[in-house]
Structure 1
């Protein structure tokens, strides 16, 4: 499926909080965890975050089955053959949650921040070895022109370079996304979060997230963490998120450089293409990531960073809910009704 473009900043952050609920403290630990978020009760209604990982997996599988059957119907109506893809080799929701443990030393020693080496990538590669697209033989039997028509019918027209960069990114429209877009909309309905009805609420929540990260209390906590990092030989960071972001930026730069040097799209079979995952620079970055993440983990532990930051975040959320409860209740009701 094509990229849907960037989601609202806070929604992405809050979604992360709910997904990371599976990484909360173990039984008997009274410390705060991500699933204690007061606001998550409302936001999670948009995507089933109130379900257990097992229930979420069943929901994902059933929606995939329904969507793929509709895709096959749509493609047939357009004159193409299409075999529904019921199992695409993806990582189960429950497995994904269990695989993400960035506050455990054993995990950090292996994955760092999960940028260069990710538990999701590792699981996906194992599952993907046995996966065969049931449509591959049919696609290969088509001429180049027919194959282009097949892909456009299935996914919609590929966005132009201008569309991708204009106004900050390409915005997904199911009506322009071919049979896949139509089928997904038939099964999932409209995205309540992105609807005009709740545009004002979105803006307020995005502002809340920004303000909570820029509060004097968070600045003080970040300063304490940064001092610990400097004492441990990792100076130059002013906020905890800066450490992982430095790895993300370096990772992206290696991919960009590989694309420029190879002169071909990354991932092609061209002899001139460069796979940045196989370069010495990426190997070195992976080692650097683990080294930095281990120091970061040590300083997060010593400053009780997660616990203290969650206290500040949840206090802000409680005030926000009290001031905007009517709108939040309306959003939750609309989200639940759309399922």
Structure 2
């Protein structure tokens, strides 16, 4: 029996970045009670502009960060905050993180370009096919994927960054975090076109696009042929996903499990499970309590214990000193209690954190434990790690 798949919303899986782009948004849930028949018209032409009670579809745009608010207290000239501290260049995993970054950059430069060309060709084919069948389709523009290396693709300590001197901490604290930018809104021309169709026209449109009317009463969304029909199916077969042609040179495909295990050495709290770090965080917490900044006890060995708790406290503290206590997802919390703005209360927390790190020799002890863990991992996986580096080196 042939494999089957659902057709929830005409979405494409494209490229090694595992990213989806919808072509027609939620066609299966469009209102069917459109009623009546419109006058005969050319459906391959844009619909006339009409008022609609349906809100426009908002397309996601790449999220960018806004600059720090110049009106926030003490933000002028301050460095950006970071919840991580870079490790010294001689740490055991540093060269392997370098290979991962170079491998991802190759994917971004090479594979993503092939995927872009393929995407644009496929979209043009869908538009041409739909026009031949009497319908309008607007090709969607390509947007860059997420395969390029980013700030996370490096070795670091799970300890918030602080300046080297007490005077600098007193002046700037942890630094400031940018205010998220509002995402620009765009109307979806394809959705607007679909909204203009009558029930019978919509059925014909979906059959032309998919090979099946996904709004029909007898349609089973979980019992469909493995391959799409209609214009979209034809375009996918004509322009198959090109990412697979590069799989043997894609570091995240060839060595995905290894990259995950490298990541887990610092990202998922293994270092916090070590008895030396449990004792260290207990000492640091006691020091903070004596300084008047009691930090809630966490179960011993839990990830993100220690100075990260002070960093989060600073994020939640307003310029007036109030501490937010809202639950996750509560949008009523003021902006200055969700990010670092460089206020005096934040700097006071950072200063006490700095003092307690100094008294407990925090960074030196933390680095020693992490260095030992990384070296043990490298010793146990050196052959596979060296193969990964050799692959990346062969990419040029």
- TM (norm. structure 2) is 0.43
More helix by share: 1
Give 1 or 2 for the bigger CA radius of gyration.
2
- TM (norm. structure 1) is 0.49
